[in-house]
Amino acid sequence: MRTPRLLALPAAVVLATALAACGGGSTTAESTPTTASSPSATPTPTPTVEALTAENAFARLTAAQKATTSYDMHLSMTGPAAMEMTGSADLADGKQNIVAIMSDPEMGPLEVRFVDGVLYLNMGELTGGKFLQLDPNDASNPLGAAFSGITESLGANDLTGMEQAFTSVTAVGEPEQLDGVEVQKYDIVVDTTKIAPEATQELLAEGLAQLPPTITYSYWLDAQDLPRKVTYDIAGTTTTMTLTNVNAGTPVTAPTPDQVTTEMPF
């Protein structure tokens, strides 16, 4: 039931490392007392932006994670592992608070909240419409342990093991409009053979028989290099993720006491 760890990559927010060169001015040249020279204008240099490349993408993605305080998201998976999910993340001041509402063809609706280290799970009729309170670090409880990596996937805060895996970053087409924001599409190719062994084992343990040789993520980045949309395909399942309200996401709160139960449903 864990969300694949690879979601950590597209959920990451890229931080711009734009370098704007500023300068210019005018000089007044004197000639004879009877002749005044006009100021000579110096053209203002065009601001330059460091291109996103395979060499700097990891560092920029990682730096961006530290700058992101919150966001809302929608995720759609089509294919063998079909699923719909909406959620919010509050990462301010070191928090990893999240809420995720999932719709699974087999399980039905499921709401997960992770607030201040406590997991709350609403499984509809199975939990009497209430949130089952769990400790995700309690290995003796398989239900809680199944969600132990949820902050890594929705919180977009773990790229560990992928330092050498980015092989190419390519701008695709011209800028376009997405929800009223100008964005640029980039294709980012990840070489799965270059993912660190421990990270690869985590991926295989989460339901993938084997990794494809490469995975291509398509990012739509705005002027601040924030991802507004991400798509990718793994094992016939196409995932589309959209991020909105970056750094102004919906507040994430724990259920009220009357909404919480500690009675295991099975």
- What domains appear along the chain, each with residue ranges and CATH number? 50-255 (2.50.20.20)
Give the neighbor-by-neighbor strand order of the sheet with 131-134: 166-178, 181-191, 214-221, 227-234, 237-244, 70-78, 83-90, 97-104, 108-115, 118-122, 131-134, 260-261
Report the chain's mean pLDDT, rounded to a whole number: 74
Tokens 């295991």, located at residue: 264
For residue 211, the SS3 value is coil
Lowest mean pLDDT among 163-167, 220-224, 227-231: 220-224
Helix, strand, or coil here: 169?
strand
pLDDT average, residue stretch 82-91:
87
Q: What is the pLDDT of residue 2?
A: 34
Answer positive or negative: Cα dihedral of 126, 129, 132, 136: positive
What does pTM read for this prediction? 0.70
Convert the pLDDT of each residue in 9-18 to its tens digit. 333 322 222 2
E strands, 32-164, in order: 40-41, 70-78, 83-90, 97-104, 108-115, 118-122, 131-134
Place of tokens 């949309």: 229
- What is the pLDDT averaged over residues 36-64? 64
Whether residue 102 contacts residue 109, with contact meaning beta carbons closer than 8 Å, is answered with: yes
